[in-house]
Structures are given as structure tokens and as C-alpha cells.
A and B are shown apart, each in its own frame.
Chain A
Amino acid sequence: MSIWIKHELCSGCGACVKVCPYAAVEIIDTKACINERCTECGVCLTSCKEKAILTDVTEKTVPDFSDRKGVWVFAEQRDGILNRVTFELLGIGQLLAKELNQELSAIVLGSKIDKLIDPLAEFGAENIYIAIHPSLNDYRTIAYTSVISKLVREYKPNILLIGATHTGRDLAPRLSRRLGVGLTADCTELSIDPEHGDLLQTRPAFGGNLMATIINRYSRPQMATVRPGVMQQIKGKSPNGPRKIIKSVSLSEKEIMTRILEVVKEERQKVNLNEAKVIITGGRGVGSLEGMKKLEALADLLGGEVGGTRVAVEEGWVTVERQIGQTGQTVRPDLYFACGISGAIQHRAGILGSKYIIAINKDPMAPIFQVADWGIVGDIHEVVPLLTEKLQQR
């Protein structure tokens, strides 16, 4: 594609020189000439009275993707254990595959993966692409990118879903750039556009203040990372058992470029508020570490976890990995207690997926009551211990 000037028609008036934002048109010997700074933006086209500026730049068209078939799911494993988001991806993958009348496949990479095949099949994978190599034992960006990109180029899937975990959010963008395709991050809803069959990818933006639906019309596979804890797992064995496709892999340490020197487990990281059924969260009204203990007692009784707002974390009443809200974690428990929390938008955005929200706050005007199922206007230091006590009696 390019833009050029038909010199027979050019009057040398210089109108195009003036409109060009890049100084890419010059008058040389009374004729306009386009230099190497041209970006083909097309601004000059309409400026020419003589219609001497021509272009073959065309509107962007959607390529024919009819040969792209199948929904693929990246099966994330660490130490031979599948991350639960894998089953959630297979769950939504089953629904999408059914809608498209295409097959659902899982890709699994590692050094020992025999035990992972059955669970993948049990949760709906009809085909399982397997790559085994010592270098694939632990996730490393370039090793995984290299193997998966080769599989995708060979088998041409239509959709590729990856969990929005630390691994997935490292892998997916690298892979998308290598494959030359678009990618949507951290989706919370996926469906198929009934008209064109494109994947509709919905995700929160602006800290959860806005939901955006995104499509990837111009490239395949349609890649998305999916927020853990959102999609439903669905059991569903394929009647013929899974078809296993084992791919041979050649990888060198030199091309992988990074080395894992050590893996350190940290107990504190185990707090996974994503999976908690009950969460009791404290805000400014908690007032002290002592105040937080009252919330912990209730959490213990209900088998739940405690969380904190940004203020509670900054005050040191709750540790940072328990922070809930836009800058902390997004949670969706069955039961969420907001205690002494006014309910800034950042906090509300992180809890909207909860099934039931209970707010306890002294201030009847606190915005948290707007998103609560049940509200108690009162002092948490009185109400929470009373609630704990009455629950114990039942």
C-alpha cells in the first residue's frame, strides 16, 4: 500500500505540504513529492484540488477464517497439579464449543503429565495435545511460548483460552505477539456473537467501574485470558474418551533465555480469598487490631476468611494479601460481611460478584448500604460480637 502523486496533474500549489502532519510532502521543481516520512495517513488526499494524489490504501477487511476450528484451553500445571482455573476454562470452553459446533481441546505441557489426562477428559476435553520435555517441567515464558505457538500454527484453532493467573498473564501476551494475533485480558464473560460467530469477550476496566465487550475480528485464534474463580466447572466426559495427540519437542536452554534458580513457597501467599465462601472484611471503623480480632472470631465460626480495605491494610490491621478492592483482590464469596466500611467505589468494585452482601456501619448514609442485601446501622464493636455469640448458641 502506498500514496503517490501523479506529477502530470500536480499544479505545485503546495496545499498538500501544508496539511501533512509529518513534513512528508515537499515541492521539488514545482511539483509535490512524497518523502520517506510519509505514514500513509491519507490527510493529503482530500487537500488536492487537482486530484493528483492517488492511493491504493484500502479499508481494513476481515480475512476468511473458515479453516479455523476448535476451542483450545491451556491446562496450567505446577508440580504436576492442575490449576483449578483449567477446569473453569474447560467449563466455559464446553459451552462455546457447543455453540460453535466445534471440538474442545486442552494443551498440556510438562515433564510428567500422565496423571493429568483423566481429569482433563473428565471435565470435557475431547482432544488433548501433549508436549513432554524436561525443560517444560516448570513454566518458563519462552519455552512454553515456543511449544504452544508451534501447536497453534499446525492445528489452527479458532479460540485459545488461558487462565489470567501469574503464569497465564506472563504467557498469553508473549504468545499473542509471537502468533501475530490480538488478545483480551482478564475476561469475566465469554459468549459467541450469534451473527458472525466471533467470540464476545467481556471484561472490567477502569477498576471495575465499567464493563467492556471486545471482539477480535481480524486475527485467529481469538485469544483471551479468563479471570480465575468466575467460570463454572462442568463435568462432561466425551463418549469416545479423549484423543491424545503427543507432540515431540526440541528445546535448548539457550533459546529459553531464562533460568529458574529457586522456587520459594511462602505460607502467607496461601490466602486465597478467591475461593473463600465467607469473607468478613473490616474497614476504617474497625479502629484497631483488637477490633479486627472480633471479625476474626466471626470468620472462624463461619469457616471464612478475613479481609481488609486499603485503609485497614495501611493501618496494619490486616496484611496486604488480604486487601479487597480495586488494588487488592476481587472476590465472589457466597456471603460477604462489610464491617465498618463506608464503601468507596474501589472497594465496591471488588465485591460485586458476591452472592449476598451484609453491611454493618454506624453511618446510615454510607454508600456500602446501596450494594448490600441486608444492612445493619450500628456499631460493629457491638454488633459483630453479638452476631458471633448468637450464632454459637444456634
Chain B
Amino acid sequence: METIVMIKQVPDTTEIRIDPSTGNLIREGIESIINPDDRHAIEAALQIKEKLGGSIIAICMGPSQAIDAISEALGFGVDRGILLTDKCFAGADTWATSFTLGRAVEKINNYDLIICGQQAIDGDTAQVGPQLAEYLHIPQITYVKGIKEITEKKIVAKRLVESGYEIIGCGLPALLTVVRELNKTRFPRFDWLIDACNKRAPIEIWNAADLGVKAYQVGLQGSFTNVISTYTPTFKRRGEILEGDSQRMVEDLLTRLEENHLV
């Protein structure tokens, strides 16, 4: 079983602050992590490998420091890592990203299963997985919260929907996007992490020329959508702190709720 896991390095958004004077995100000092859903994708791949054998490749597109995400993946037990990095990959929307990842998968040219996290915590789009599946003309199962059966030839998975879940089967190769309910992630092995930071670690770095793509097909140039403006959401609130003892405050609150026809 040859599995490819797509991982993204993201800023830990739980740590993000907004600069009050500019309204911009403060990224300095924010730790970069493997996107949480992608950790579950790695775990799923490891469990499948433990059952069926084979190997796991982790692919990450990002700036050169995203190699840390790949090293960490190797620490979990992923066999090989590929970092897709190039100036011209920068600013990619999901269309350009799925194309770039698709070319990398075509270059590897040997896989049974691709596993992605459901969505990344920085963009929250959940689009790259299905777009990659379409690029590769393979079936997709999204929101995977359980794997009922997997063999070299097919997979049966539980797909989370609003009213419960569906049990979906398809032949391989296929692409899954997984949610955190799927599994509990393990800790990386310290010795493997050290090995992963070694110069001879099985990590390759591919640029646009290695993928055989043109600069205008990738990154910002290869994107259909553009961010034209950003702003920090603000909401006007009354901000009234009620005073007095508990009885007084509760009475006052009820009066205000009644005045606004809320109860």
C-alpha cells in the first residue's frame, strides 16, 4: 500500500493576535505547526501501513522553513518527505495549489491512497483535497471519521454528514479528507525526529522546474481568485457592566432583556 499524505504548515491560529494600530495579523513569534487535521491524516496513513505494509510519503508545499513540518512527519514514522518550494508557488489559491500538488503526485506516479486533512486552520477552505482528486480523476471521500475496511483494492469509510454519517465504498486509488474524530494522534519518536533533521534524511526538495510546470501556471499568477482587501472584524457592543449585588444585577439584566423583547 503506497500512501501519500498532504500536509500544510500553518501558523498556530490559537496564538494569533491583531495589531490594534494597523489591524494586521502579528505573525512574528507565532509558532508554525502541522495543520491539526493533517496530523490525523498522518496517523491514518500510519495505521494503514501497520495493517497492510507499504510506505508513506508526506508532501508539503510552502516556504523553505516548511521542511520542519516534513521532519516532524518523519518523526511520526512517515518514510519519505517531499517539500514543494519555489518563489513562484507563493500566493497560490486552491486552484493553483491543487495543480501543483497534482503535478507532484504525477511525478511520484505510484500511489494507492492520498490522505489530506479536512481543512487547514489558516484558510479553512477544505477545497484542495477535492480539487486534487478531480485533477487526478480519482474518487474522493471527504469528512472521513472512520475507516471500516481497507484492502489493496478498495476502501469503505464513514463520511460525516449533518444528520449522521454515510458508509461509502470505492476502489483505489482514492483520496480521503479526514476529520479529527477519525483517530487519536500519537507522539513522534525522539530518535526518528533527530534522524529526520539529519542531512541524509529522506527528504527531497522540488521546485517548479522539477515539476515541469510554468511560472504562470502556479502561485499567484496561476490563481483564479485574488484577495483584494482584508479587515479585522469589529462589532459594536454596548459593553455595559451591571453593578450592585447579585440580586440587583440579575434584576437589571432582566429589565434590559425585556426592554429589548428578548425574553
Residues of chain A whose beta carbon lies under 8 Å from any beta carbon of chain B: 1, 21-24, 36-42, 57, 60, 78, 138, 141-142, 145, 165-167, 169-170, 172-174, 176-178, 181-186, 200, 204-219, 257-266, 269-270, 272, 302, 320, 326-327, 334-335, 344-346, 352, 356-358, 364, 369-378, 382-383, 386-387, 390-391, 394
Q: How far is the CA of A20 from the CA of B253 in the complex (A)?
A: 68
Q: How far is the CA of A376 from the CA of B239 in the complex (A)?
A: 11
Chain A nearest Cβ from B159, distance in angstroms? 8
- Which of chain A's residues have a CB closer than 8 A to the CB of B225? 182-184, 214-216
Contact with A along B97-132 (1 / 0, CB 8 A): 010000000000000000000000111111111110
Q: Is B140 part of the binding interface, using a Cβ–Cβ cutoff of 8 Å?
A: yes
Contact between B130 and A369 (Cβ–Cβ < 8 Å)? no
Contact between B239 and A369 (Cβ–Cβ < 8 Å)? yes
Q: How far is the CA of A207 from the CA of B142 in the complex (A)?
A: 21
- Which of chain A's residues have a CB closer than 8 A to the CB of B235? 352, 371
Contact with A along B241-263 (1 / 0, CB 8 A): 11000110111011011001011
Q: Is B237 part of the binding interface, using a Cβ–Cβ cutoff of 8 Å?
A: yes
Q: Which residue of A lies closest to B225 (CB)?
A: A182
For chain B, which range describes its interface: under 10, 10 to 19, 20 to 34, or 35 or more residues?
A: 35 or more
Chain B nearest Cβ from A248, distance in angstroms? 24
A-B contact pairs, 25 of them (CB 8 A): A23-B209, A39-B88, A57-B216, A138-B166, A141-B139, A169-B142, A173-B98, A173-B126, A173-B129, A185-B124, A185-B127, A206-B13, A210-B230, A210-B232, A213-B227, A257-B171, A263-B164, A335-B257, A370-B237, A374-B240, A376-B249, A377-B241, A382-B246, A391-B254, A394-B263
Contact between A183 and B163 (Cβ–Cβ < 8 Å)? no
B209: which of A22, A369, A391 is its contact (CB, 8 Å)?
A: A22
A262: which of B13, B125, B167 is its contact (CB, 8 Å)?
A: B167
Q: A170-B142, A386-B246 are in contact. Are A216 and B224 (CB under 8 A)?
A: yes
- Which of chain B's residues have a CB closer than 8 A to the CB of A327? 36, 121
Q: Is B52 part of the binding interface, using a Cβ–Cβ cutoff of 8 Å?
A: no
Contact between B207 and A40 (Cβ–Cβ < 8 Å)? no
Q: How far is the CA of A293 from the CA of B78 in the complex (A)?
A: 45
Nearest 4 pairs of A and B residues by beta carbon: A182-B224, A22-B209, A266-B164, A177-B134
Contact between A204 and B124 (Cβ–Cβ < 8 Å)? yes
Q: How far is the CA of A326 from the CA of B238 in the complex (A)?
A: 24
Instruction: Known pairs A214-B228, A257-B170; list 16 more (Cβ under 8 Å).
Output: A22-B207, A39-B215, A166-B161, A170-B140, A172-B127, A174-B131, A184-B225, A205-B230, A207-B16, A218-B224, A263-B167, A266-B163, A327-B36, A327-B121, A369-B241, A373-B240
Q: Which residue of A lies closest to B136 (CB)?
A: A177
Q: How far is the CA of A390 from the CA of B257 in the complex (A)?
A: 13
Q: Which of A23, A218, A258, A326 has the most CB of B within 10 A?
A: A258
Q: How far is the CA of A264 from the CA of B168 in the complex (A)?
A: 11
Q: How far is the CA of A185 from the CA of B83 in the complex (A)?
A: 26
Interface residues of B in 1-38 (CB under 8 A from A): 11, 13-14, 16-18, 25, 36
